[in-house]
Chains A and B, each alone.
Chain A
């Protein structure tokens, strides 16, 4: 209404009657297309070059990586960096153990978060109970709190609890899993509740009239219909746990317990610079994430655009 009124006075046809038909065509079709093509190429280059540089650097030899000038294309696919990374003798080696640690944290986080958030999201999407909105808003409030604000009290709190029941806060992978659950559950809950609301209630009501219990309905009707959402939520949680840096940095001290991000940080900060090894480790850490993402891009992009991922 207001918008349409605004349009008319300010504008004349930009590519007016003067000029030939060809000029008009050139102005209308080629020019915007040209800009779009240049723009997209620029974006693609600035996005892909760092990834190319990461992978290609990981295949360079020590001479190529430490030379006076950068080597743009490695002369051969050398595995020196990877060998050093998995070398059981070297202090910066034994990366296999770090991969296992990361998996030991990311897989349980994803599975437990998936189970708990499915239950909670169903209750929020489908059931009415006292305190529902307080609960949901309280859980979403988590978006506000910075990680650095939480880590001090968490550290103190868990140290105190650990002291009294007898576990160590530091170098304890289950402790990390629990803190990652706290980070991923609100996201997962929010995403799944939104998805459950899109499933027609009538299907569930029909099943309940046929005598199914609530839990039976969840298991037999809702979950099979929500498989895409469940898969994306699990992958999100996996990725958050896989990538997490700050909590792992504070809670892990022992090299043997390091997750991949902390180990890569250690290799980078080692007095002897080994950029090719850092890049090899980064490649190993990035590839599973990118493959998972590409395989499920269609579902994941929807979840991302729902604004549900904190990052």
Chain B
């Protein structure tokens, strides 16, 4: 309190020179370059994207964006009426429904496989360190390499490895075009996603598993709990929060993901998700306004998820 009243009485000049003020100035100076780059190249463009989505921006006026004509919700209605976007029955889901189904299924599978992997690595055994390192490979390797090696494994010709193996096992008679068949392609993309991103879930779950208080298991032992009972009544409740957090993060990132599907199927055969549609509108048709409108729809769906998630799932976790 003494310092507070003293600070009020000192003249402005001294306050400018005070240690606290100099500290704050130095802090701003240190963070300014980062702030300028992040705000200039991410936060501003994000708002600019809203502006673009209400204007008619094409290749012709790209260099003079700010004088692009205002067209209200035209871009949005165009997107909603686009056959690639809207749901038209079970044979043609449209990008919005495909995106939602794809992200939910892929995220759930990723978290489940991550949980299994974490449980496998939880107990010490010889060679656990190297095994854990190998488990991280799919997540660390460049997306282009792993996407193309999977395309090559899933090659539709009889010379594709998976086709060869399945035909030798006599599970199929004719080679399958895994990535070029509606339904199957989406399933494969979901499985690829789980293969690539389970290590992220695994690492976070493993960290939490190692932090569980051992006395909880001892207490369960005293009560006569078996392995399954201990998992159900001790491990899972302890993991609830981290599982919720991973699910949320992965759901966001999967929903926003462009590279994986673009490289695997190019967005064909029932795998056209919203990020791919955004890319096609903008950089194939060069209708940037329509692309931006699609991106804004994508972002809106994402924010709705987050709010619902925060209100339903996170509140339940907090009650614990």
Interface residues of A (CB under 8 A from B): 3-4, 6-8, 10-15, 32, 36, 39-40, 43-44, 46-51, 53-54, 57, 66-70, 116-117, 119-120, 122-124, 127-130, 132, 135, 138-139, 141-157, 159-160, 163, 178-179, 181-182, 185-186, 189, 214-215, 239, 242-243, 245-246, 250, 260-261, 264-265, 268, 275, 278-279, 282-283, 285-286, 289-290, 293-294, 297, 301, 304-305, 307, 309-311
Contacts and interface: CB of A to CB of B under 8 A. Distances in A.
A304 B46 contact: no
A129 B35 CA distance: 14
Contacts of A265: 144, 263
A124 B158 CA distance: 57
Given A53-B149, A148-B256, A11 B43 contact: no
B109 interface: no
Interface size on B, as a range, is: 35 or more
By CB atoms of chain B within 10 A, which of A151, A181, A279 has the most?
Answer: A151
Contacts of A297: 133, 136
A143 B233 contact: no
B308 interface: no
B152 A120 contact: no
Contact of A186 (B38, B228, B262): B38
The interface centre, meaning the residue of A57, A150, A178 with most chain B CB atoms within 10 A of its CB, is A150
Given A39-B120, A246-B258, A293-B140, A7 B225 contact: yes
A238 B115 CA distance: 29
B203 interface: yes
A146 B237 CA distance: 32
B172 interface: no
B114 to A, nearest CB: 11
Nearest to B32: A120
A146 B275 contact: yes
Contacts of A215: 26
Chain B CB within 10 Å — which of A4, A132, A143, A148 has the most?
A148
Interface of B: 20, 23-24, 26-28, 30-31, 33-35, 37-46, 48-49, 52, 57, 62-66, 116-117, 120-121, 123, 125, 131-146, 148-153, 155, 158-161, 164, 195, 197, 199-200, 203-204, 206-207, 216, 219-220, 223-230, 233-234, 237, 245, 249, 252-253, 255-256, 258-259, 262-263, 275, 278-279, 282-283, 288, 291-292, 295-296, 298-299, 302-303, 306
A128 B23 contact: yes
Nearest to B49: A153
Contact of B120 (A40, A68, A182): A40
Contacts of B161: 53, 70
Contacts of A144: 252, 299, 302-303, 306
A231 to B, nearest CB: 16
A138 B43 contact: yes
A149 B283 contact: no
Contacts of A15: 226
A245 to B, nearest CB: 5
The dominant DSSP class at the B interface is: helix
Contacts of B151: 268
Report whether over half of chain A's contact residues are helix, strand or loop; otherwise say mixed: helix
A170 B23 CA distance: 41
B320 to A, nearest CB: 8
A130 B259 CA distance: 39
B31 to A, nearest CB: 4
A12 B224 contact: yes
Contacts of B135: 43, 47
A3 B237 contact: yes
A123 B131 contact: no
Contacts of A130: 24
A19 to B, nearest CB: 14
Contacts of B233: 3, 6-7, 10
B162 to A, nearest CB: 9
Contact of B149 (A40, A123, A282, A301): A282
B206 A129 contact: no
B30 A119 contact: yes
A189 B150 CA distance: 34
Contacts of A275: 152, 155
Nearest to A28: B227
A160 B65 contact: yes
A173 B150 CA distance: 30
B38 A44 contact: no
Contacts of B62: 155-156, 159
Contacts of A185: 34, 37-38
B216 A3 contact: yes
A153 B52 contact: yes
10 contacts: A32-B227, A50-B138, A70-B159, A119-B34, A139-B38, A147-B275, A148-B295, A160-B64, A178-B37, A185-B37
Given A3-B237, A43-B120, A245-B263, A51 B288 contact: no
B41 A145 contact: no
Contacts of A301: 132-133, 136, 203
